Amino acid sequence: MSNNKDALSSDYLTQKWGDFVEKNPMVLVCIPRSTGIVHSANLMSVNNNGMAFVRWHDPVDGKIVGEKEIPITDLEKYNTIIDEHTDPKIISDLEAYPVNQEFRDPFTIVNIPRSNGSIQEASIVGYNANSRMFFVLFDADGIRANKSFSREELDRYNTATQARQKIQQLTTSHSLTLGNSDDSWAEAMTTFTSSHGDKIAGSTDKGFNYKPHNEDRVVLDPNNDRYTVIDGIGGHENGDRSAQILSENIQRNPNNISQAVEDTQGQMRQEGIHDGGACFASLKFISNQEARAIISTINPSSHRSLYIEAAGDVRLIHYDSNGHKKFATFDQTGSEKHIVTNAIQANKGMVVPYLFPTSAEPGDYVVMCSDGISDNLTDEQIGHNLKHGLLVDQVAHNIGVTTRDMMKNETGKADNRSLVVIKVG
């Protein structure tokens, strides 16, 4: 990895990784386990004896379930920080298939071969600089699993352009609508970082023990800082069609949700959809100046503001960086203005979305979800997943696994599931 023999000395690695964890507290790193697999853990500290202290948590309640010291050389072996000592071949590998760490964000999605002959999407999470092998995470029958692949093996199933395709469409000029098929939670998962540094993960699927199709939609539009969850309602296929119409109109009118709602109602009448409809929650990041023009109580020193629009029972919850709830669009213990009951339907008059601007600070979280999530998890249970610095895709994955198990075991309500998790940059 280095042309400088001192580059891998204990003192050098201690300072290198000590400086890194100081700038990135509780950063997620890959570590080797005694079982032979590569595991993700939070890097807590580095000491002068060449050891690093790591800790991992239960994904549901956030409790500590394991911690140990590992040699700093293992951090170097399984995670790569680019510096002046890095071999050009390694830089070439990482430019083709970026590794998901704080300095290599967002996730790179790649196709990998499975032992049963199928091809599956996976997320690259680590890189072994010594062997030039990539570590990938994927969902295998509901269990988070990992494998390692060389650059050459990945190239058989991906090109650098293909591997970055999902990221590029979210960082150029496109909106992405999820939920048009019966894809699983893991297959629909999309993670990226906006131009403002916001980290976003979104997913949707049809749930378990419910309808054979998905009537939810998730619209991710980073170019307009607009993120939306839609829940179709109604009999037969009308809920699915209503949700699709609304998602398309929001993409056409990202800066005018009222117009998107009006157009949706008109199109539903034209198509004769009278027993269907849609609920939604939509978030747009706006400047404090724009927010204070709407409501004067916005904190003028705040970072940015959230402009929230909602109709129906799709839920939006705003948390601080420690997972404590600051605001929610539906709060049974709050005032009446926080309760939204109107849904978009053809046989209703003009639906006026519920509006509320609120301040946002770096590190805050916003969670939007359909009732396949909110009917099974309380706001506090969702907030537990935000307390320990987990990546947004891990939060979405954990919530997906928990609600899936509840539906499969019939301990929760069966429904379509949609979720967007945002960490404010």
| Spatial distance between the Cα atoms of 107 and 85, rounded to a whole number of angstroms | 25
Pick the CATH number of 99-171 from 3.30.980, 1.10.1200, 2.40.10, 2.30.30: 2.30.30
* pLDDT band, residue 421 (cuts 50/70/90): very high
Q: What is the mean pLDDT of residues 348-355?
A: 72
Q: What is the mean pLDDT of residues 276-291?
A: 85
* pLDDT band, residue 75 (cuts 50/70/90): confident
Residue, of 190 and 220, whose pLDDT is higher:
220
Residue, of 234 and 201, whose pLDDT is higher:
201
Task: Describe the strand order of the beta sheet including 190-193 as a list of residue ranges.
Answer: 190-193, 199-205, 417-423, 365-369, 315-319, 325-328
Q: What is the mean pLDDT of residues 370-376?
A: 94
Predicted confidence at residue 102, as pLDDT, reads 43
CA 26 to each of CA 143, 329, 365: distance values in angstroms, whole numbers, following the listed order: 24, 31, 17
Task: Describe the strand order of the beta sheet including 276-286 as a list of residue ranges.
Answer: 176-178, 216-221, 226-234, 276-286, 304-311, 354-360
For 181-217, write each residue's pLDDT tens digit: 544 687 777 877 788 888 898 888 888 888 888 899 9
Of the chain, the percentage scoring pLDDT greater than 70 comes to 79
| Spatial distance between the Cα atoms of 242 and 240, rounded to a whole number of angstroms | 6
Q: What is the mean pLDDT of residues 159-163?
A: 59
- CATH 2.30.30 residue spans of the chain: 1-79, 99-171
| Spatial distance between the Cα atoms of 227 and 368, rounded to a whole number of angstroms | 9
Of the candidate ranges 112-121, 290-299, 319-328, 339-348, the one whose mean pLDDT is the lowest: 290-299
Predicted confidence at residue 330, as pLDDT, reads 64
Of the candidate ranges 49-58, 106-115, 316-325, the one whose mean pLDDT is the lowest: 106-115
Prior bond to 106 cis, omega within 30?
yes
Predicted confidence at residue 318, as pLDDT, reads 95
Of the candidate ranges 26-40, 67-81, 209-223, 322-336, the one whose mean pLDDT is the lowest: 322-336
* pLDDT band, residue 91 (cuts 50/70/90): confident
| Mean per-residue pLDDT over the chain, rounded | 79
Give rounded-to-5 percent helix, strand, coil for the chain: 30, 30, 40
| Spatial distance between the Cα atoms of 196 and 31, rounded to a whole number of angstroms | 30
Question: Hey, what are 322's tokens?
Answer: 């420690």
Note the Cα 97 to chain centre separation in Å.
Answer: 19
Q: What is the mean pLDDT of residues 94-123?
A: 71
For 387-419, write each residue's pLDDT tens digit: 777 778 878 888 988 998 899 889 999 999 999
Predicted confidence at residue 167, as pLDDT, reads 46
CATH code of the region 173-423: 3.60.40.10
Residue 315 half-sphere exposure toward CB, CA atoms < 13 A:
24
Predicted confidence at residue 374, as pLDDT, reads 95
CATH fold of 1-79 reads SH3 type barrels. (2.30.30)
| Spatial distance between the Cα atoms of 109 and 167, rounded to a whole number of angstroms | 8
pLDDT above 60 for 336: no
Of the candidate ranges 203-212, 223-232, 257-266, the one whose mean pLDDT is the lowest: 203-212
Residue 394 half-sphere exposure toward CB, CA atoms < 13 A:
21
DSSP letter at 344 equals B
Predicted confidence at residue 123, as pLDDT, reads 80
- CATH 3.60.40.10 residue spans of the chain: 173-423
Compute the CA torsion angle 387, 374, 123, 33 (nearest 10 deg).
50
Closest CA to 144 of 40, 29, 63, 62: 40
Of the candidate ranges 35-39, 174-178, 398-402, the one whose mean pLDDT is the lowest: 174-178
For 294-321, write each residue's pLDDT tens digit: 655 556 666 788 889 988 889 999 999 9
pTM given for the model = 0.64
